[in-house]
Structure 1
Amino acid sequence: MYQQLPSFVLGFHGCDRKIGEAVLAGEHVAQSVNDYDWLGEGAYFWENSPERALSYAQHIKKHSGRGKGAIKRPFVVGAVIDLGLCLNLTDEGALDELRAAYDILVATSEDIPLNTPGFNGDQDNLKRKLDCAVFQTLHQARVAVGLPDYASIRSPFLEGPDLYPGTSFRKQTHVQICIRDMSCIKGYFLPRNADGSLFQL
């Protein structure tokens, strides 16, 4: 597999303004360690979509029971990311590796977790305990056979209602990046609009 992705990508993280300003002042985006994080443990970003990051933060503000911390003032911080050794789930070989990790999980665990709804009306099963366990198994299996750790994971995520009747396109589909090695993040910035104005004030 061509696992080294050589170019920089821009990632966007939705959060509370206080957290975003702390990141811009020198802190890192926190790594998430929930047992339902769909790509496993790491710092999460939306690829090339500050709009999606903002809508996520606005959703968390509206539904305060979701997310690890309350968001009072939705905010977006951008990051320049070198994906390094990346488990890129648009690649057939990466998907084969993920399936093999699932097989290992089934063979070695008595209780297999499930993906379940995160809230009433959630049709996307956003509590991804099964997926998280599969990714953690994948990383453990690589360590066991002496393979290098993945620095990042990149995957499309189909989310939301159908965009229009008869299609498989979904309203909130996006590409998400999970950063496991924080040295992949080369810097943070305030996003801007196409005309050069700040994305948010």
Structure 2
Amino acid sequence: MSQTYIGYHGTTVSRGENILNSKQYSISYKEEEWLGKGVYFFEKDIQQAVNFCVKARKYEDYLVLKSKIEANICIDLDNLETMKILERISQEIKNRYMKLKDGSPRKLKNSVILEKLYKIKQYDVVKKTFPVLKTTNINDTNFIWVQVQICVRNRECIKTIEEVMRNERSYIFN
């Protein structure tokens, strides 16, 4: 039985227009990706996509796309059983992947562990709740700011792509 997700993807205006014209997202293959290879979305939260564009990437012009994602196999990294599997894989690979291909030190082994998991069980989507970096708890509570990220490994699961927000701040004046 498939699971349906709504995801928001923030990008530059030019990349967003390319996605809309081609009707296809590009897959991110970076070695340090938090959730491995795939197309990244924020689940159900357009403001997280805006924050990514404005605060993390500092894009002057950005576009937010909304997609409906239908996945048959989802790896939920908020599930304790799944985390136990990832821990076993991490112990198995130990220190074999401490450097990136260019020889620089690796910060995270996330993508290595998820690649190994993908070889064991090919999944469509991986999902995880992360704390929002550089924020504090809400006063006098233990509530923390979080974001739910989805990485779509199988692009055929992306059923729709639509523009939902555009911010063009840079203009050329003659």
Fold-level similarity (TM above 0.5):
yes
TM-score w.r.t. the length of structure 1 is 0.71
Whichever residue aligns with residue 125 of structure 2, its letter is: S
1:21 to 17, 24, 34: 17
Question: Is 1:164 matched with 2:160?
Answer: no
1:135 to 104, 114, 117: 114
Whichever residue aligns with residue 175 of structure 1, its letter is: V
Question: Is 1:183 matched with 2:156?
Answer: yes
Kept in 2, the 8 Å contact 1:104–1:137? The answer is: no
Q: Which residue pairs with 2:171 in the alignment?
A: none
CA distance in 2 between partners of 1:45 and 1:153 (Å): 11
TM-score w.r.t. the length of structure 2 is 0.81
TM-aligned CA deviation for residue 72 of structure 1: 3.9
TM-aligned CA deviation for residue 75 of structure 1: 1.2
Runs of 4+ in 1 over 6 A off after TM superposition: none
CA distance in 2 between partners of 1:18 and 1:177 (Å): 23
CA distance in 1 between partners of 2:99 and 2:79 (Å): 25
Kept in 2, the 8 Å contact 1:37–1:128? The answer is: no
> 1:20-63 deviations in whole A, cap 9, x for unaligned?
1222223322111111101111110000011110110112453x
Q: Name structure 1 gaps, 5 residues minimum.
A: 63-70, 115-126, 143-147, 192-198
CA distance in 2 between partners of 1:111 and 1:190 (Å): 39
Question: Which structure 2 residues correspond to residues 106-117 of structure 1 after superposition, within 5 A?
Answer: 106=94, 109-112=95-98
Relative to structure 1, the CA distance from residue 35 to residue 167 in structure 2 (aligned partners, 3 Å threshold; closer, same or farther) is farther
SS in 2 for 1:58: helix
Whichever residue aligns with residue 143 of structure 2, its letter is: F
Whichever residue aligns with residue 164 of structure 1, its letter is: I
Kept in 2, the 8 Å contact 1:54–1:76? The answer is: yes
Q: Name structure 2 gaps, 5 residues minimum.
A: 101-105, 168-174
Question: Is 1:50 matched with 2:50?
Answer: no
> Which structure carries more relative contact order (alpha carbon 8 Å, separation 6+)?
2
TM-aligned CA deviation for residue 10 of structure 1: 0.6
Kept in 1, the 8 Å contact 2:76–2:82? The answer is: yes
1:99 to 87, 107, 124: 87
Kept in 2, the 8 Å contact 1:35–1:129? The answer is: no
Count matched residues.
161
TM-aligned CA deviation for residue 18 of structure 1: 1.4
